[in-house]
Chains A and B, each alone.
Chain A
Amino acid sequence: MTLVERMRSGLGRRGARTAASPAVLPAMLGVPVGLWQAVFFAAPLGFLVVVTFWTVKSFRLEPDFSLANWERILLSGPFQRALLYTFEISLLSAVLTLLVALPAAYTIAFRLPRWLRDLAVTLLIVPVFSSYMLRIYAWQIVLSPGGIINSVLRFLLDLELNLLGGQISLQVGLLTLTLPVAILILVMAFSGIDRTLIEAAENLGCRRVRVIWHVMLPSIRRAIALAGSTAFLLAFGDYISPLFMTGSKPPTLSILIVDTVKSGSQWPRASVVGVSMLVILALVFLAVAWAGRAGKGGK
């Protein structure tokens, strides 16, 4: 098995201490994982790309090599509108997330005592893995015309706001998704800044605000890009917030996919939407990475 042979050859002194070990062990360890990911991750996605070229004849999916699906979808009005819309809300979400996350992360990293900081980190990790869907449902309750906020407003100011159904509620939903992760990334980044840089800047006469702007933010440039990209990624692929906050009007790309799949056998078209999304996400990440490297200059 050439993979095993390659592992045995081991490049370099550090890390590849294969001298005293048979190549059986790495094969035993590596093959199950590799195979699992290949079969249950790479293959389905690969299959998806393949399906985009297939055609549906009398409700049956048939292998083909046709660009018809691509033409049909890419040129269709609804798709293009959904694409633009999804891109716009994701961009907006990324920006809003950063605007909220940066000050919050700064406060956590620098203005809280250690125990409170650890508590804050815990309180941020928990929502990332707990029932995003339920939390959006909760917002729906809170923001709806008969909900908590409006009840309070009606009681206090005799006012009723139409909070649900618009960009505000959508962005609230997306923030619920993106904020915890973004704040965590930035807290880790802020905590990791070399303190001597900050002290040097203050020693040279910079006030706090200037230290933040000129020393800290540039130091965590990569983390900011990561937090923003992650927020963009999460928002771009989200299904729940647009569904519950705006009732799928207008639809995002994920909603398009789910609806197309639900409505029957239009697999190739749904696949086109999916593959297009992946391509766009990849391009966005590459653009961010390239911008990061270009900005670094001669570092």
Chain B
Amino acid sequence: MPDALVQLKALDKRFPGHHAVRAIDLDIAAGEFIALMGPSGCGKSTTLRLIAGLDTPTGGEILIAGQRMNDVPAFQRDTPMVWQSLALFPFLSVIENVEFPLRMKKIHAAERRKRALEWLERLGLAGMADREIAQLSGGQRQRVAIARALVIQPPILLLDEPLSALDAHLRVRMQTELSRLHKELGITFIYVTHAQSEAFALADRIVLMNEGRIQQIGRPQHVYREPANAFVAEFMGANNIVSGTAAGTAGDKIAIAGPLGTFLVPARGRTVQGRASFVIGADRVSLSATGGEGALKGQVIGLEFVGSTQTVFIEVGGSEFRVQKQQHEIDSLDLGPGREVFLTWQAEHAWLLPDAA
């Protein structure tokens, strides 16, 4: 991306005993909402801290608006962050917290107060200016933290798992607010989370990381449906991975032969030899009581009820399959542990993993 706002070039961070970020490359466009995702310890928070200047890279470069930032200390970068712990100053009132960045920019008192009050109002905190932080609810504190970060009207906003401390219902409300803010302000949001649902709801693009490396970058749906490797496929949750060996082609499809049988997978212009795997989404598998041509026979291990969907765990020839269905779709099947059931899917829905390793 030639005129990206933030560019990470071979960015590397090594701690004593822990290689947190391994020479990653990433370009972030101005105005986009990008989510850094991954399991604990994958390097997403470290990357965010490197962008903010709270840690110095041990290799590579960070460029913001084309300027090299490696040697610029944190307090001289305009990359305010919304912290997981919120990090509100307990000895300052609400408005004093929001005024803090303006105070650091030596903006004089009257102007400071005016701008801070504007932002409090914008975030629905009008009238709370003189309250103490301790008197606020979790959601209100969250909004003070956001107001404090945005009051200097930065080009980039960093967010480090900002909603993880909130209860589920409040989290959803805040997600909507963040989305709205992003659209209104048009600035770049860099958002770290381990919750897939948040990333999916908010982000234009997702960066999935694992063990310090970027596994895949792309739009949420794309990463979900077309994972780049087995890790991505598994992290995204509701995917089944079937492995085997390439065994010829049939039209625009490749045949993969394995212990469970031979399956056709769309080639999409790729060729593959030797070991190969493909992915079939849990919601793309159909269940029936009677088998048919090409159906897999399996035994139900267990069921998990999550709202209106059921996840059915099925043992098929030594492997475990996960199938997600709406409750009403499988009512008639009368499923229970130990019952026999047949699985099928449409070949078009299978996705050949580019990196079988």
A residues engaging B (CB < 8 A)?
11-13, 17, 19-21
Q: Which residues of B contact A (CB under 8 A)?
A: 15-16, 53-56, 73-75
B74 touches which of A11, A12, A13, A20 (Cβ 8 Å)? A20
How far does the Cβ of A222 sit from chain B's closest Cβ, in whole Å? 31
Q: Give complex CA distance A262, B54 in Å.
A: 59
Measured between beta carbons, the chain A residues less than 8 angstroms from B73 are: 20-21
Cα distance A179–B207 when bound, in Å? 63
Chain A residues with CB under 8 A of B56: 19-20
Contact assessment for B54 and A13 in the assembled complex, using a CB-CB cutoff below 8 Å: no
In the assembled complex, which residues on chain B have CB atoms less than 8 Å from the CB atom of A13?
15
Q: Does B15 contact A19, Cβ atoms closer than 8 Å?
A: no
CA of A11 to CA of B15, assembled, Å: 9
Q: Is the CB of B16 within 8 A of A19?
A: no
17 A-B residue pairs with CB within 8 Å: A11-B16, A12-B15, A12-B16, A13-B15, A17-B54, A19-B53, A19-B54, A19-B55, A19-B56, A19-B74, A20-B53, A20-B54, A20-B56, A20-B73, A20-B74, A20-B75, A21-B73
Closest to B46 in A: A13
Interfacial chain B residues near A21, Cβ < 8 Å: 73
Closest-by-CB residue of B relative to A22 is B73
Taken together as a complex, chains A and B put the C-alpha atoms of A21 and B73 apart, in Å, by 7
Could you tell me the distance in whole angstroms from the C-beta of A163 to the nearest C-beta in chain B?
Answer: 54
Minimum CB–CB distance for B85 against chain A, Å: 14
Please give the distance in Å from B16's CB to the nearest CB on chain A: 7
**Other CB < 8 Å A-B pairs besides A17-B54, A19-B53, A20-B54, 12 of them?**
A11-B16, A12-B15, A12-B16, A19-B54, A19-B55, A19-B56, A19-B74, A20-B56, A20-B73, A20-B74, A20-B75, A21-B73
Instruction: State in angstroms the CA–CA spacing of A12 and B18 once bound together.
Output: 10
Q: Closest A-chain residue to B72, C-beta based?
A: A20
Cα A17 to Cα B56 in complex, Å, equals 10
Chain B residue at minimal CB-CB distance from A17: B54
Closest A residue to B52 by beta carbon equals A20
A23 to chain B minimum Cβ distance, whole angstroms, is 13
